[in-house]
Amino acid sequence: MRKLRPVWLVAIAATLLAGLGVFGMTSAMATGVKPAKAAVVDVNGNSLGTVILQPIGNKLAIAGKLTGIAPGFHGFHIHSVGICDPHATDATGAVVPFASAGGHLNPGGATHGHHAGDLPVLFVAADGKTTAAFETDSTTFAQIFDADGAALIIHAGPDNLANIPARYSAAGVAGPDAATLATGDSGGRFACGVITK
C-alpha cells in the first residue's frame, strides 16, 4: 500500500467537501467502473460517515471522511462477510458486536499484516474526526463482492499489523502470538459498514 497519486488526493479531497455523489460520477467516468461505498455505523446505529472504494487500474482507491470516533489510532480492515449486526453472538452465545462480518478478508490464508483486507490504521484527531485516502493492490472487487460480500470494520484500538520483532516474546515464544497474527491486537469492533455497489 502507498499514498494515492497527488491528482487523486486532490480529486478525493474536493469530492469529500463537495459531496459523495460527485466523486462517484467523476470516478465512474474516469475508469468506467462505478465505485462502491460503505455507510459506517457504530454499535448504536449512529452514522459515522461514508467510505468510497474505486478501482483504478489494478489497484483500489479508498477514501472516507468519518466522525464520532475516539481520538487516536484504530485498526481498519475489510472483513469477509457483508453483514453488520451489532447484536451478533459468538459460538458461546456471548454478544460480540459485528462478529457477523467474519474475520479479515483473507482468501490467500496469510497471517495478519498480509491479509487482503488489511488497510492502513486510521488516525482520529481530538475532535473525533478523520479523513483518509489511500490505495491498495491487496484486494479486488471480485474478492469483496463474492457470494457473501464484505464489510469495513473500525476497531476500538490500534493495529500493530503483527509487527512484533523476534526480540519480544509471549509465553516463551519469540515474536507475535496467535492472537496478534490473527488480528493485530486491535481490540473490539467499534463500527461497521457493509460494502455495496
Q: What is the CATH number of the domain that holds 48?
A: 2.60.40.200
The pLDDT value recorded for residue 31 is: 61
pLDDT digits (tens, 9 = 90+) for 100-138: 999 999 999 999 999 999 999 999 999 999 999 999 999
Structural domain span for residue 122 = 6-196
In this prediction the pTM is 0.85
Residue 79 lies in a domain: yes
Q: How many domains does the chain have?
A: 1
Answer yes or no: are the C-beta atoms of 172 and 127 closer than 8 Å.
no
In a domain, 39, yes or no: yes
Q: What's the pLDDT band for 32 if we cut at 50, 70, 90?
A: confident
- Structural domain includes residue 77: yes
| Overall average pLDDT of the 57-85 stretch | 97
- Kindly report the average pLDDT of the chain as a whole number: 88
Task: Please report whether residue 1 resides in a domain.
Answer: no
The answer to the question of residue 51 being in a domain is yes
pLDDT in tens, 136-161: 999 999 999 999 999 999 999 999 99
